[in-house]
Amino acid sequence: MRSAAKEELDAAAVAFAGMALHQLGRDEEAQAALERLRALCKEERFAEDQEAQGFLAEAEKLLAGENK
C-alpha cells in the first residue's frame, strides 16, 4: 500500500487492501485497514463521495462475513 507520507490515502486503495488482507486470513491487518477506511470516509473529501461510501459498505460486509 502507498505510504501516507508520500501520498494522500485513497479510499479505493484502502478498501482493496483491507479486503485482500481479509481474504489472505490476515484479519488484524484487515481490521486496521477497515478502521482507516472508516476514518477516511468521515473526512470532508470522502463524506459525500458515493463511491468511497460504497467501498466502505462492501468492505464492512466482507469483513463481517456477509460476502464471500
pLDDT tens digit string along 5-55? 445 679 999 999 999 999 999 999 999 999 999 999 999 999 999 999 999
Q: In the prediction, which pLDDT does 1 show?
A: 47
Task: Please give the average per-residue pLDDT across 55-66, as a whole number.
Answer: 93
Opening angle at CA 58, ends 22 and 6, nearest 5:
70
Query: Between 67 and 21, where is the model more confident?
Result: 21
Q: Distances from the Cα of 51 to the Cαs of 19, 28, 34, 36, 56, in angstroms?
A: 16, 25, 16, 16, 9
pTM of the full predicted structure?
A: 0.82
Predicted confidence at residue 66, as pLDDT, reads: 75
Residue with cell string 470522502: 46
